[in-house]
Amino acid sequence: MNVEKEMDGVEVKKSCCFFCHQNCGVLAYVKDDKVLRIEGDPDHPTNSGGLCCRGNIALLHLDHPARVNYPLKRKGARGAGEWERITWDHALTEIATRLGNIKEHYGAEAVATAGGTLRTDDWARRRFMNLFGSPNGFHNSHLCWVPTFLIETAISGWCPFETDLGGGSRCLVQWGHNPGASGMPEMRGITELKRQGMKLIVIDPKFTETAAKADLWLPLRPGSDAALALAWLHVIIYEGLYDQQFVENWTVGFDRLTQHVAQYTPEWAATLTWLDPELIRQGARMYAQNKPGNIQWGVALDQSGKSAGAGIHARALLRALTGNLDAPGSDLMTGPSKDFITDEEIEANDWLPEEQRAKQIGSDRFKLTTWPGYKEIADLTREVWGKAPTAEWMCEAHPPSVFRAILTEKPYPVKALLVSATNPVNSYGNAKEVLEALRKVDFLVTCEYWLTPTAMLSDYVLPIGGALERPVITSTYGCSDTIIGSQRAIQPMYERKLDYDFWRGLGLKLGQGDMWPWETVEEAYYYRIYNLGYGVSSFDEFVETQRFHFPEREYYRYGQIGFATPSRKVELYSTTLEKLGYPPMPTYISPAENEVDDPELAQEYPLVLTTAGGFMPYHHSEHFQIKELRFLRHEPYFDINPVTAAEYGIKDGDWAWVETRRGRIRQKANVTEAIAPRVVMTQRGWWYPERDATEPELSRCLESNANVLTATDDAFCDPQGGSWANRGLLCKVYKAQNGQGKADN
C-alpha cells in the first residue's frame, strides 16, 4: 500500500509490538482510526527497526476472523460453544454479582485468578484482588524468572538482571536461554559484542541457534543445572579464581561456602551432568577469568522443579564470587525506580488484610514466592532502596495447588477462576489435572483474544484489545528503573476493551469506586510517570516527545547504600533463606526424575525429557491459528538423536508418542544431531485451533501438549519457590502406528 499517496490525515503513532514482552517499537500509520500499515521503529532503543515473524503479522492479528469481538455469555452446556452476545455492562454486573455471592458463602479467597505472561496490566488485576480480599492470584511466574528474582534478591538485595553488555563485557553466559529464537534484539547485541571479542558460553542440552554462535557449548543433561553451578563454584573457589577484594569487603560467609562446596567437584558433577570434568572447568575458568562478565537469566533453572532453587542459588553466588555485580560491564542491580510510580506502589497491597494473606494457597509450603518470603525480602529492599519489588508475580498463590483446591476443596474450596491472557490447559503444568479443574470449577470467566480451549469452557468470555489497540509501559515487570512508553495506534476494534477496563469495571460494580480514579489506562500511566518531570500533559505526549526514561547508570551503588540484606553485604551464607527454613547455602538436589535415584523408573522410561523453550514463530501457546505464521511450522516436533531414533525404528517426520508417568502426547520426530542420544526435547504450547473447539475435542488441547508430560505434585516442586518440573523428567518414545492414535483425553 502506498501510504504516501494518501498521506493526508495519516498519523504516525509510536506503538509497540505486543507478541512477547520485549515490546519492540512499531510505527503505525493510522487514518480514520484504521491502521494502514506498520513497520519497526528505527529509532526505538530495543529493536532499531527490526521486527520478528510475529511482529510482522500484527495487522493480520488485529482483525483476524477468529478473534473474539463481543462479550459472550454461555447459553448451552459448558464447552458446547453456544453463546449469547451481551453488553459489557451486563456481563460485568452478572460477574460481579456472582463473585459477591461466592465471597459471602466461601470467603474472598474462593475467587482465584490465572494470568499469563507479561501481556497485561496485571498491577490492575492485583489491585482488584487486593481490594476484593483474595490472595489467590497467580501466573506461570514460578516457571519464569520469579524464583530467580527472589533468591537473587535474598542474597544480594536486588536481582542483578540488567546485563551491562555495552559496558565492556568480556564474557556472557547464556544459561538455558536461547535469544536466537526468543530474543531477537538481544541476539543482535550479542553478535556485535562477539565480533569485538566477547566470549559466549551457552549452557543448553540442545545445539540451539545461540549455541551455534558460542565459543563454548555445554550440553548438559536436562535438569542437572544445579550440579553444574555447584561445580563451577567449586572450581572458582578452589582454583583461586574469585575476586578476593570483593569477597573480602562485600560478602559474608565465604569460609563456610568454601567448606560447603568442597564436595562438589567437577568429577562429582560429571556423572550428573554428562559433561566432561575438563569441560566443566573450562567453562568456570572462562567466566571467572574474562571480567567483566555476565550470566544472563534464562528460564531453564526456574523450570527444573524440585532442584530449581538449588541451581538458582548456586548460579547467583557465581556473580558474587567473581565480583560481577554492579561493576561496569557486569550484571547490574538497578533497584526499583525512584522516579516513577512502580507497579508495587499501585497494586494496593496494603489493603489485603493479614488474615487474608495467611490464606494464600501454597504459602504454608513454598514460602519464598508467597507472602512469608516476599514480605521478608520486600521489607529489606524498602529499608535500602525505599521501595519493594512488584508483588504481582513475586508473591502469588501456587498454581498447581489452586487447581488441586478446585478439585479437592483442600485447603478450602475455590469456586471461581478469572482467567486473563492465558490458556491454562496448555500453559500450566500437568495439563490433565488443569483441564479437570477447568471443567469442574463453579464459575469460569476468561478475558481473551481467541476462543481457546479454556475460553470454550468458560461462563463468560470478554473480548480484549491486543497489539496496536493498547498503550504499554515496559519496565521489566515493574522491577527496573527504566521505562519505555508506547501508545495505542487505535481504539480497540468492535467491542473489545483492555484487561485494565475489565478489572476496573468489575471493581466499580463491587464498590471499589474510590480506588479507581483513572478512567482509562492512559490516565493511570500518566499518574505513574507524572513525577518524571518531563512537563507533559498526557501519557501520549510522553510517548510522542520522550518515549523512554533511562536514568544515568550509576555503578557500584552498594558502596553508598550497601546491599539490601540483613548484613548489608552479599550473603554467601544467606540468613534470609535460613530464616525462611531453607538451606542458607546452595545444596544439591537431584533432577525431578532421574536414573540415579530411581533406576527402576529409568528402566521403563529410559530417556531424559525437556519440554524446552521458545521457538519461532510462536510464543507460548499462541498464534497457531495464524496461517501466515503456521506455514513455517505446521505441526509439533520433538527432537531426537539419530542413534536413538534408529533404536526405536523412528524416521524423521514420523509421528511418535512421548510418554511420562503422567501421560503421553503425539508429536513428529525431528531426527537431529542437535541433542544427545539419551535426550528428548518436545515443543511446548501446541493445540489445534483448526479442530473442533467444542467438548470433548476442545481443539485437541491435550494431544500434542507438552504439559501432559510435566509434573506438579509437591514432591516434584522446588521446596523454596514451588516451581514445578518441565525439565529433567524421564520419558519413553515410540512410533505412533499408521500415524494414528488417540490422545489421553
Partner 1 sequence: MARYAMVIDTRRCIGCHSCTVACRTHNHLPVEMIYNPVMTIGPTGKFPSLHLSHLPLLCMHCANPPCVDGCPTRASQQREDGVVFIDQNKCISCKTCIMSCPYGARKANHETGTVQKCDFCRDRLAEEKLPHCVATCHQKARIFGDLDDPTSEVYKLVNTEKVTRIHEELGTEAHVFYIVS
Question: Which residues contact partner 1 by CB under 8 A?
Answer: 2, 4, 37, 39-40, 42, 47, 49-53, 55-57, 59-60, 180-181, 184-185, 187-188, 191, 207, 209-210, 212-213, 217, 219, 616-617, 627-629, 631-632, 641, 672-677
112 torsion bin: left (phi>0), alpha (psi -120 to 50), beta (else): beta
- For residue 617, whether the previous peptide bond is cis, meaning omega lies within 30 degrees of 0, is yes
Q: Which residues make Cβ contacts (< 8 Å) with residue 541, sequence separation at least 6?
A: none
- State the nearest-atom distance from the C-beta of 55 to partner 1, in Å: 8
Q: Which is nearer to partner 1, 269 or 378 (CB)?
A: 269
Q: Which is nearer to partner 1, 348 or 484 (CB)?
A: 484
- State the nearest-atom distance from the C-beta of 67 to partner 1, in Å: 17
DSSP annotation string for 402-447: HHHHHHH--SS---EEEEES--HHHHSSSHHHHHHHHHH-SEEEEE
Using alpha carbons, select from 18, 129, 48 the residue that is nearest to residue 474: 18
- State the nearest-atom distance from the C-beta of 285 to partner 1, in Å: 19
Q: Report the alpha-carbon distance of residue 367 to residue 613 in Å, rounded.
A: 27
Q: Report the alpha-carbon distance of residue 424 to residue 516 in Å, rounded.
A: 28
Q: What three-state secondary structure class fits 547?
A: coil
- State the nearest-atom distance from the C-beta of 698 to partner 1, in Å: 26
- C-alpha cell at position 384: 535500602
- State the nearest-atom distance from the C-beta of 402 to partner 1, in Å: 36
- C-alpha cell at position 372: 512469608
- State the nearest-atom distance from the C-beta of 20 to partner 1, in Å: 12
- State the nearest-atom distance from the C-beta of 423 to partner 1, in Å: 23
Q: Report the alpha-carbon distance of residue 66 to residue 245 in Å, rounded.
A: 60
Q: Which is nearer to partner 1, 31 or 37 (CB)?
A: 37
| 397 phi and psi angles, rounded to 5 deg | -65, 155
- State the nearest-atom distance from the C-beta of 91 to partner 1, in Å: 34
* Residue-level length of the chain: 745
Q: Which element (helix H / strand E) includes 657? A: strand 655-660
Q: Which is nearer to partner 1, 236 or 675 (CB)?
A: 675
Q: Which is nearer to partner 1, 225 or 540 (CB)?
A: 225
Q: Which is nearer to partner 1, 41 or 481 (CB)?
A: 41
- State the nearest-atom distance from the C-beta of 241 to partner 1, in Å: 25
Using alpha carbons, select from 519, 160, 167, 546 the residue that is nearest to residue 340: 546
Q: Which amino acid is at 122?
A: D
Q: Which is nearer to partner 1, 59 or 86 (CB)?
A: 59
Q: Which amino acid is at 67?
A: R
Helix axes of 146-156 and 308-322: crossing angle, nearest 10 degrees? 40
Q: Give the other-Cβ count within 10 Å of 244's Cβ.
A: 11
Cα Dmax for the chain: 73
Q: Which is nearer to partner 1, 79 or 219 (CB)?
A: 219
- Which residues is 201 bridged to in the sheet? 173, 216
- State the nearest-atom distance from the C-beta of 437 to partner 1, in Å: 36
Q: Which is nearer to partner 1, 631 or 737 (CB)?
A: 631
- State the nearest-atom distance from the C-beta of 677 to partner 1, in Å: 7
Using alpha carbons, select from 456, 524, 530 the residue that is nearest to residue 689: 456
Q: Which is nearer to partner 1, 36 or 536 (CB)?
A: 36
Q: Which residues make Cβ contacts (< 8 Å) with residue 43, sequence separation at least 6?
A: 25, 547
Q: Which is nearer to partner 1, 184 or 402 (CB)?
A: 184
